Structure 1
Amino acid sequence: MSRPLTFAPPPGTHSAPLRTSRGTFASLVAPAAGPAARGPRPTALLLPGFTGSKEDFISLLQPLAAAGYRVVAVDGRGQYETPGPDSQEAYAQGELACDVLAQAAAVGGPVHLVGHSLGGHIARAAVLRDPTPFASLTLVSSGPAEVDSVQQQKIELLSNALTRLGMEQVWEAMRAMGQPQDAGADDEPALRRRWLMHSAAQLIATGRQLMTERDRVDELAALPLALHVVSGERDDAWPVPLLDEMAVRLGALRSVVAGAEHSPNTDRPERTAEVLTGFWDVQASQG
């Protein structure tokens, strides 16, 4: 579970409903604040990972906006402040990919798409369905196929618990086991609220996706789209050497954020913002 540094939008950003052809999604928006001389640039659309939310990107909003990019971070269907159905079928990857395409249309193109972990798999599926709205794709700590076997075991345990227990009971069980790690008294109420507002069906369905995702790297590499692979120095979901290999297969820019693990967006947000905007700035100079 990612731990945002705060759940409060920083100055210059705001919460807003993102109304699309496939429903309304909760979002955090940061208007571009960079020098006007840079001219209009693509909007950055940020997709969170498993058990995460738009708040996982909250510390990126100001630095990305200051570099001249409008930023929209979203809760997907069934995540935190975006309600979702109780049916697991509603969270099939194809459905979630179509949501992303609707979100991209709503924010207006072109779009720099960024997906963290599970969000990377969903972003990839959206781009493979229709790459035309996107100026680039960045995969943050998101591997070529299913997660590591240890993570698969954890997800299976969570899924089994969610089928038998309520969200409150599962939260109490996780806390008894020390999860989320390092959660202090100040941030636990916000993390608990986020957990309780998630859809159990969404968690079960997307957890299954993380355990069974097939390798689609060659399909993605065949697209005429700028690609970027970002991770921390360590990752407990996909080994970093596997991410290195994936970047080579994609012909993608590879960025490793020093001092970060599976969530560089929360571990080292300033540096993560730098590698993102550096990549996007190159696309702007070439466009």
Structure 2
Amino acid sequence: MHSQLTSHSAAAVEYSGPYGPIGALLADTGGPYAVLVPGYTGSKEDFAPLLDPLAAAGFSPLAVDLPGQQDSTGPAVEDEYLPGPLGDVVAGLVNGLDRPVVLLGHSYGGLVVRRAVLAGARVRGLTLLSSGPADLPHGPRRQVLDLGEPLLRAQGIAGAHRALEVLNAGNPRWLSLAEPVREFLNLRFLRNRPESLLGMSAGLRTEPDLVGELGEALGETPRLVVCGETDDAWPTSLQRWMAERLGSEFVTVVGAGHSPAVENPEGLLAVLLPAWKAWVA
């Protein structure tokens, strides 16, 4: 079963960022970089099942923690975790690399990487994975954000985690995970800065539609929109509409929901690799 604990040969590395070290996993093959940016409450480990296959295909996968996540230092200011400031961080990282870059953002990371492109990130191609054209639509995921904010402000990370444990106790998807995976996810959540969760939550609820601006900034740079066939965050119909406006191919990954990289990595790689190889040829 694929998970954030999938074994891989990437090394733990650090890059300099405006708030301190940026934690990352890198399998440096000497080939073009595939920079992978996670979403809200996520981390670089969300891409673990992709790392070795991407390296075997000639890429140098570089999966990062956004500031405030897991192994990346973050500021104590909530607004610095909105997509714009985080996009500046990613743009700085990308433009400091010494080889061509294909850039992928998952979920909230998709909102961040498009801001990175708008901030001048030099990329050979952009992939938006299970992300959307604007703020998160109303539904269960957004409701959790709305309910979680006052709890997080009143009781901090530990209190929010206790509430999450109560929700997960009746969640079949959570209970189906192996115990080491649940332990990792619990510890990862507790490592988030509260400001990062609050700031990213605000970003998910306020980000404007920037599809037109993104298309102009990309120009002739190729782009791809991908999601799981049962994505429950931004509806697949909305992501398809975003792809149409971007002039992008839109592909759904069978057997996957909101997190294809861990739910069906082989299916996701079958979409990514042909496109990315063409982009860097």
Tell me the TM-score normalized by structure 1.
Answer: 0.90
| Gap runs ≥5 in structure 1 | 33-39
Work out whether residues 44 and 111 of structure 1, in 8 Å CA contact, stay in contact via their aligned partners in 2.
Answer: yes
Q: Does residue 24 in structure 1 map to residue 14 in structure 2?
A: no
Structure 2 counterpart SS, 1:254: strand
Whether the 8 Å CA contact 2:32–2:58 is kept in 1: the answer is no
Give the deviation of 1:41 after TM superposition: 4.2
- Deviation of 1:216 after TM superposition, in Å, equals 0.8
CA contact (8 A) 2:102 2:124 kept: yes
Query: RMSD of the TM alignment (CA)?
Result: 1.9
Which residue does 1:249 correspond to in 2? 245
Tell me if 1:158 matches 2:148.
yes
Q: Which runs of 5+ in 2 are unaligned?
A: none
Matched-pair contact (CA < 8 Å) for 1:41–1:284: no
Change (3 A) 1:13 1:108: same
SS at match of 1:181: helix
Runs of 4+ in 1 over 6 A off after TM superposition: none
Contact 2:174 2:182 in 1 (8 A): no
Whether 1:185 and 2:179 are equivalent positions in the alignment is yes
Q: Which amino acid aligns with 2:254?
A: A
State yes or no: 1:209 paired with 2:203: yes
Q: Which amino acid aligns with 2:174?
A: Q
Q: CA shift at 1:13, angstroms?
A: 1.4
Match for residue 58 of structure 1 among 45, 48, 62: 48
Partner in structure 2 of residue 37 of structure 1 = none
Between stretches 56-65 and 266-275, larger displacement belongs to 266-275
Aligned length: 274
1:239 is aligned with what amino acid? P
Is the contact between residue 140 and residue 229 of structure 1 (CA under 8 Å) also seen in structure 2? Answer: yes
Identity of aligned pairs, percent? 35
> How far is 1:54 from its partner?
0.3
- Relative to structure 1, is the Cα distance of residues 120 and 48 closer, same or farther in structure 2, using a 3 angstrom cutoff? same
- Give runs of aligned pairs for residues 98-247 of structure 1, distance below 5 A: 98-131=88-121, 133-150=122-139, 151-178=141-168, 181-182=174-175, 183-222=177-216, 223-224=218-219, 225-247=221-243
User: Which residue is 2:279 aligned to?
Assistant: 283
Does the CA contact (< 8 Å) of 1:148 and 1:236 recur in 2? Answer: no
Q: Is the 8 A contact 1:47 1:75 kept in 2?
A: yes
The answer for the alignment partner of 1:35 in structure 2 is none
Which range moved further: 117-126 or 95-104?
95-104
> Following the alignment from structure 2 to structure 1, what is the Cα–Cα distance between the partners of residues 2 and 200?
21
Preserved contact between residue 9 and residue 15 of structure 1 (Cα < 8 Å): no
Structure 1: how far apart are the matches of 2:93 and 2:280? Answer: 22
Q: Does 1:86 align with 2:76?
A: yes
